[in-house]
Chains A and B, each alone.
Chain A
Amino acid sequence: MNERMVQLDVLRYDPQVDDEPHFQHYEVPCKEEWVVLDALNAIKESIDPTLNYRWSCHMAVCGSCGMMINGEPRLSCHAFLRDFEGVIRVEPLANFPIERDLVTVADDFIDKLKRVKPYLIPGETRSIDEGEYIQTPAQLMKYRHFSMCINCMLCYAACPQYALQPLFLGPAAITLAHRYNLDSRDGGRDERQQVIATNEGVWECSFVGACSEVCPKAVDPAGALQQVKVASTLDWFREHLLPGDTK
């Protein structure tokens, strides 16, 4: 198996001693088929056990290994070393505070996810005897790609609006709300609209489109947000222009 020396500049930050982060240079022997995460594991095992980063599945499923790799938000388990030349720059995900080294503080994202009620709120209550909530394949396809999100936060790291306005609910949270709103079994749209059809919700989005470009799961959050804008605008017309509705 081919091996070669790979060079990485990794952003380090130790809250106990550092006032600000700094780059540390590593050179590590890597196999041809390795990804950036393998190189970090090799560093941690044989060169520097103090290096901190998150990962779990190594197969682009758990969403925990997101980092900036040469300035681009990527899953480090999905970024093949053979696609890079020269020194690879590895930094923690942009737009999130650095907890330590490559580990970021994700609390803001988790809070926002909770706020959009990302679960089924049944439109009609059925007893267990009445059986399951039936859905046709066509009804499933309506939202299926929006349900593929792995909460990796790459879209937040790519979004300049989130960088400039941290109150922005952001791509993945609004997309997840939209995913449930589109679900034929769900009746919770009114509750979610209170959260997402607001200035800090979808109207903070100016359709840069960066979220969809970096999403490793082809969720297309930018598409979801534009669809939320269209639907919210139609709501407004319905409320203000149609007779009889005084909501």
Chain B
Amino acid sequence: MSRRPFVRPVSRTRWYFKHPRYLRYMSREVTCVFIGAFTLLLLCAVERLSEGQAAYESFLAAIGGPWSALGLSIVLIFVVHNAISWFNVTPKALPVQIGEGFLPGRFIVAAHYAVWILISLAVLFFAGVL
């Protein structure tokens, strides 16, 4: 008997509409675009800072308007979404075995949030906000 296996076609451009879990994955992946854009903005800031106080202040003025506030808020939402979705999966990548059991994943996730908060506080402290 001759075999003639049938291969079902896979859409390269629309596969993520096939299941909500794929859309959830894509929503995490697109955050990198916003994080990339914000990183570029930070690099520009550092560059202007190196050019002196006047250059840096004009840069701050340029990004100070309501539209950039809106844009930065959107970026912030995506950055937070990225951080939360990655923090929540860290127990999978970094399991901590204690004797014959494993440390419950929520402690590993909580440790990430704790470090995040500490670093944020340190940044605010050095920036003179706190």
Interface residue count on the A side (C-beta < 8 Å) = 34
A71 and B18 contacting across the interface, CB-CB below 8 Å:
yes
Residue contact A163 to B15, C-beta cutoff 8 Å: yes
- Report B-chain residues with C-beta under 8 Å of the C-beta of A94: 8
Q: A71-B18, A141-B101, A209-B21 are in contact. Are A227 and B8 (CB under 8 A)?
A: no
Question: Residues of B within 8 Å of A, CB-based: how many?
Answer: 29
Do A15 and B19 form a contact, CB below 8 Å, given A137-B100, A208-B25, A223-B95? no
**Residues in chain A near residue B100, CB distance under 8 A:** 137-138, 141
- A164 part of interface (Cβ distance < 8 Å): yes
A226 within 8 Å of B (CB atoms): yes
* B12 and A208 form a contact (CB under 8 A): no
Listed in ascending order, the chain A residues whose CB lies under 8 Å from chain B are 13, 15-16, 18, 20-21, 71, 94-95, 97-99, 105, 137-138, 141-142, 160, 163-164, 206-210, 212-213, 220, 222-223, 226-227, 229-230
Q: CB distance A99 to B15 under 8 Å?
A: no
Q: Nearest 4 A-B pairs (CB), nearest first?
A: A226-B93, A223-B92, A97-B5, A15-B4
Contact A226/B8 with A15-B2, A71-B18, A138-B97 known, Cβ cut-off 8 Å: no
- Which residue from A98, A141, A212, A230 sits with its C-beta under 8 Å from B5? A98
Complex CA distance for A37 and B105, rounded to whole angstroms:
35
Q: Are A208 and B5 in contact (CB under 8 A)?
A: no
Using A15-B6, A98-B5, A141-B101 as known contacts, say yes or no to A210 and B92 having CB atoms under 8 A apart.
Answer: no
Could you list some 21 contacts between A and B, CB below 8 A? A13-B6, A15-B4, A15-B6, A16-B1, A16-B2, A20-B6, A71-B19, A97-B5, A98-B8, A99-B5, A138-B97, A138-B100, A160-B25, A164-B15, A208-B21, A210-B21, A210-B22, A226-B89, A227-B92, A227-B95, A230-B93
A222 to B92, CA, bound (A): 7
Residues of A within 8 A of B25 (CB): 160, 206, 208-210
B12 near A164: Cβ-Cβ < 8 Å: yes
Contact yes or no, A207 B89, CB < 8 A: yes
What residues of A have a CB within 8 angstroms of the CB of B97 in the complex?
A: 138, 141-142
* Chain A residues positioned under 8 Å from B2 (CB to CB): 15-16
CB within 8 Å of A: which B62-119 residues: 89, 91-95, 97, 99-102
Q: Which residues of B contact A164 (CB under 8 A)?
A: 10, 12, 15
B21→A229 contact, CB < 8 A? no
Q: Is there contact, CB below 8 Å, between B89 and A209?
A: yes
Given the known inter-chain contacts A141-B97, A210-B21, A226-B93, please indicate yes or no for A97 contacting B6, CB distance below 8 A: yes
A229, B89: Cα distance in complex, Å: 14
User: Residue B59 at the A interface, CB < 8 A?
Assistant: no
Given contacts A71-B18, A160-B16, 5 further A-B pairs with CB under 8 A are A16-B4, A21-B8, A141-B101, A160-B15, A227-B93
Minimum CB–CB distance from A243 to chain B (whole Å) comes to 27
Q: Are B93 and A223 in contact (CB under 8 A)?
A: yes
The interface centre, meaning the residue of A18, A164, A207, A220 with most chain B CB atoms within 10 A of its CB, is: A207
A28, B3: Cα distance in complex, Å: 30
- Contact residues in B for A138 (Cβ distance below 8 Å): 97, 99-100
A136 (CB) vs chain B CBs: closest residue: B100
Measured between beta carbons, the chain B residues less than 8 angstroms from A220 are 92
Q: Assess A15 versus B5: contact at CB under 8 Å? Given A141-B97, A213-B21.
A: yes
Taken together as a complex, chains A and B put the C-alpha atoms of A64 and B9 apart, in Å, by: 23
